[in-house]
Chain A
């Protein structure tokens, strides 16, 4: 996946697990429980991260048997991107909203890396087509800086100062066979 001259593992499997557990607790703490929460993962890698966060939240609340699908969904933002014409088409991923809908909910968007902020802007547009949440928050595993829009994350697994020429690769067991975050240049 990476062909750079140097690559450094910045988060191990354990680091990722700890970061997610911490974020799950921060979400519960800030929102005073999980009752009005909806987690929306942004495909590709935001989707499994959202599921993991959802499992941790249900565990922390002591109801691990509750259906995950009522808490966690996915939000494909491809059609809301403003750079569709510049980047090759990506096959559309499903958008799946929990049956309760988004109206008056607290939506936590979940993505792997926060970079320019354009993906999140597109996600905000996509959400507005789907309903009217009471609040929208953002959880990311890695914030690598270089924002191009006035967007910030509410929950961050790791702040990772990078240069634009560097590349951050998030690997997750569900898609890539193992968990790691690698910085390569």
Chain B
């Protein structure tokens, strides 16, 4: 693994290795001294062309707990009109001696360009690009699911296991969602069965070729799939306006048909966890009752995000390629 650009690039073995490493990292985070010296002397640059305080501080915490130096580079607004600045920014970072670049960008494929254009030679971690991918989100979601649904192993994290047979329902704006794309790729690789549920307007043309099932009916999906995990995607209210594409008639109608309300929460199997990548629109895609219920993993996902990002930075930066079958 030279870069982490897409969850779809990971083999099963690589994905499990990242999750297992995450498990070790998570264990260190319950200690009094959370900081590890692994990346001492290395510099990680957070290159954010799009605002995302949560993701940035998660990566920042991860890098710092591995003793790396962190430079935050917020380039919002200086980019898309003329892409030149991505190249120039990359050259600047390379000149300043960055050892890894974490990039968030509103243009799909920008991390891919950064990694493959020859502008810089450091590992690139995709922290979310346009409507394309958000691989560390998918990894932290998978880690959270494994911990709850598989368990066992050292620390009860299901170390060494994948998600074979797990049933996951992902609900919401799949069309614009990099989280959905990343999760479908990774969950499929890990052996889970994914069902996407959305109004037809919020599913991309070509979704029928994805390795998952697709439904327009949330109630039927809950009843038929009996999911082990249900993930609610953020829906932006502006998508309903004509200027925003007119994807659905009103927030109320969306909420009635696709929101996770109390009734649907009650209809879920006892053990099913409720997930959300955040930030939430309470009352739109998820009710407060569901978000705050004991089966919600939403806060835990945030904590796991730091451990996953520690694992990714560690595996990318500490030496060469990971050894095969080292256990």
Within the complex, are A and B direct neighbours (CB within 8 Å)?
Answer: yes
Q: CB distance A80 to B17 under 8 Å?
A: no
| Residue from A84, A89, A90, A92 in contact with B20 in the complex, judged by beta carbons closer than 8 Å | A92
- Residue in B closest to A131 when the chains form the complex, CB atoms: B32
Question: Is B258 an interface position by the 8 A CB rule?
Answer: no
Q: Provide the residues of chain B in CB contact with A96, threshold 8 Å.
A: 154
Q: Provide the residues of chain A in CB contact with B154, threshold 8 Å.
A: 94, 96
Q: Provide the residues of chain A in CB contact with B319, threshold 8 Å.
A: 84-89
Within 8 A of A (CB), among B12-36: 17, 20-21, 23-25, 27-28, 31, 33, 35-36
Q: CB distance B37 to A79 under 8 Å?
A: yes
Within 8 A of B (CB), among A88-137: 88-96, 125, 129-130
Question: Is A76 an interface position by the 8 A CB rule?
Answer: yes
Q: Provide the residues of chain A in CB contact with B294, threshold 8 Å.
A: none
Chain B at the A interface: SS class: loop
Q: CB distance B24 to A88 under 8 Å?
A: no
| Residue from A79, A90, A91, A94 in contact with B36 in the complex, judged by beta carbons closer than 8 Å | A79
For residue A83, give the distance in angstroms from its CB to the closest CB of chain B.
9
Q: CB distance A89 to B37 under 8 Å?
A: no
C-alpha spacing A96/B157, complex, angstroms: 14
Chain A interface size, under 10 / 10 to 19 / 20 to 34 / 35 or more: 20 to 34
For residue A11, give the distance in angstroms from its CB to the closest CB of chain B.
25
Q: CB distance B155 to A80 under 8 Å?
A: no
Chain A at the B interface: SS class: loop
For residue B295, give the distance in angstroms from its CB to the closest CB of chain A.
28
Q: CB distance B20 to A125 under 8 Å?
A: no
Q: Provide the residues of chain B in CB contact with A91, threshold 8 Å.
A: 17, 20-21, 322-323, 326-327
C-alpha spacing A90/B327, complex, angstroms: 10
- Residue in B closest to A96 when the chains form the complex, CB atoms: B154
C-alpha spacing A151/B314, complex, angstroms: 28
Q: CB distance A92 to B21 under 8 Å?
A: yes
Question: Is B207 an interface position by the 8 A CB rule?
Answer: no
C-alpha spacing A85/B37, complex, angstroms: 13
C-alpha spacing A80/B31, complex, angstroms: 16
- Interface flags for B31-49 (1: CB within 8 Å of A; 0: not) read 1010111100000000000
- Interface flags for B267-306 (1: CB within 8 Å of A; 0: not) read 0000000000000000000000000000000000000000
Q: CB distance B155 to A90 under 8 Å?
A: no
15 extra A-B contacts, CB within 8 A, seeds A92-B21, A125-B37, A129-B31: A79-B314, A80-B37, A85-B318, A88-B319, A88-B321, A89-B319, A89-B323, A91-B20, A91-B21, A92-B20, A93-B327, A94-B154, A94-B159, A95-B28, A129-B28
Using a CB–CB distance below 8 Å, which chain A residues touch chain B?
A: 76, 78-80, 84-96, 125, 129-130
What are the 7 closest A-B residue pairs judged by CB atoms, nearest first?
A: A79-B38, A92-B24, A88-B320, A94-B154, A89-B319, A84-B318, A91-B326
- Write 17 A-B pairs (CB below 8 A) sorted by A numbering: A76-B24, A79-B36, A79-B38, A80-B38, A84-B319, A85-B318, A87-B319, A89-B314, A90-B326, A91-B322, A91-B326, A91-B327, A92-B25, A95-B27, A125-B37, A129-B31, A130-B33
